[in-house]
Amino acid sequence: MAPTVLHLRAETKALEHRSALTPSTTKALVDAGYEVHVEKGCGKKSGTTRIFDDAEFEAAGATIVEEESWVDAPAEHIIVGLKELREESFPLKHTHVQFAHCYKGQESWDTVLARFPRGGGTLLDLEFLADPKTGRRVAAFGYHAGFAGAALALENWAWQLTHPASEPLASVTSYPNENELIADVKKSLADGEKKAGRLPRVIVIGALGRCGKGAVDMCLRAGVPEENILKWDMAETAKGGPFQEIVESDIFINCIYLASKIPHFVNVDALKAAGADRKLSVICDVSADTTNPFNPVPVYTVATTFDKPTVPVDGLEQGPALSVISIDHLPSLLPREASDAFSNDLLPHLLKLNDWRNDAVWAGAEKLFKEKVATLPSSALEK
């Protein structure tokens, strides 16, 4: 039987350096009998650059192919990517494994989703790839989101101490590896410690989850003592907020998975009520439910970016300046480690793609796809 061909497409989203397949998962797939085609990652057309060199994929046994060659690949090749396809309208004939962001009524969801049934293709969306027994996602980027978010929060704490209030945290860019990020954070913390005479006190809420574990690990690896880190999850927030422990910490990192309406963790009234006693100067909202009406951190309204990582909380007359980091693409700060962790978690399922309809996880993704397609307005299918 001819081998199953997986075609890793080049990403087209600006500043995306992560990859759904890595050289090591590619090698595992090739060793298992798959043929892996990898589009050149230099991103001449898209302006993005994959964190892994083409040569690393070639050494792993992949065949390097031209950017956007997936479009004309035989219909039975499975197209693997991470983020959205470029906004185009031609029908899609392949099975695509990716995050498509079109199942929750997002803007243009119908146009994006309709391309699959219009071309006879299938979407196996990575966001909803879950173990049918536990309902838990099989692969997610949470750990590195928390890790990166905590890094920026610590950097911001130190920055505020060493720069005038008029100068917000400078722009950041992706790091080639986590050791360089940790070294930078340690250096900033040392500068901050010199000014403050102490290291920060940090509260992480959602500490038992993926993002929360990453946030706690970053704090520890940067040298924040264990006793300075308050690790909260469901049990600690059951009493209902707002929480005094947040305004008494220097840094609050929110890492919860918001599933329903809950009392605010902190709000502007609580910040004002703390007056000059407030220590809190940095919030990193890793959960980034910025526009969700149930956001338990309703002290800001915009998502921030690597270019402008912070947004100030205005209107506080007493206490230190307070700013919020609400970046929704935090794992991109560490594209190598984030891709490695994600692709490794996905590997047991990637290895089943040669017979994916008989695998419960992929079959579940196809079932969801069909359910979502059934909700498409007929006008979307006619385009």
Ligand X SMILES: NC(=O)c1ccc[n+]([C@@H]2O[C@H](COP(=O)([O-])OP(=O)(O)OC[C@H]3O[C@@H](n4cnc5c(N)ncnc54)[C@H](O)[C@@H]3O)[C@@H](O)[C@H]2O)c1
Binding residues: 136, 209-210, 233, 237, 257, 286, 327-330
Residue 12: partners with Cβ closer than 8 Å, 6 or more residues away: 45, 46, 48, 83, 84, 85, 86
Smallest distance from the beta carbon of 349 to ligand X, in angstroms?
A: 17
| Kind plus residue range of the DSSP H or E element containing 200 | none
Comparing CB distances to ligand X, the nearer of 18 and 37 is 18
Tally: H helices and E strands in the chain: 12, 12
Comparing CB distances to ligand X, the nearer of 95 and 304 is 304
7 among known catalytic residues: no
Residues making up the binding site for NAD(+)? 136, 209-210, 233, 237, 257, 286, 327-330
Catalytic, out of 27, 45, 77, 83: 83
In the numeric block, which tokens belong to residue 157?
A: 């704490």
Residue closest to ligand X (Cβ): 209
Let me know: does 244 contact 174? Beta carbons within 8 Å: no
Nearest C-alpha neighbor of 114 from the set 88, 142, 146, 80: 88
Let me know: does 310 contact 322? Beta carbons within 8 Å: no
Smallest distance from the beta carbon of 30 to ligand X, in angstroms?
A: 29
Residue type, 161: L
Smallest distance from the beta carbon of 114 to ligand X, in angstroms?
A: 25
83 among known catalytic residues: yes
In the numeric block, which tokens belong to residue 127?
A: 């966001």
Catalytic, out of 101, 186, 279, 352: 101
Rounded CA gap, 135 and 152, in Å?
31
Smallest distance from the beta carbon of 331 to ligand X, in angstroms?
A: 6
Comparing CB distances to ligand X, the nearer of 30 and 205 is 205
Contact positions vs ligand X (CB under 6 A): 140-142, 145, 205-206, 208-212, 233-234, 237, 255-257, 262, 286-288, 327-331
Comparing CB distances to ligand X, the nearer of 89 and 301 is 301
Q: Which sequence positions are flagged as catalytic?
A: 83, 101
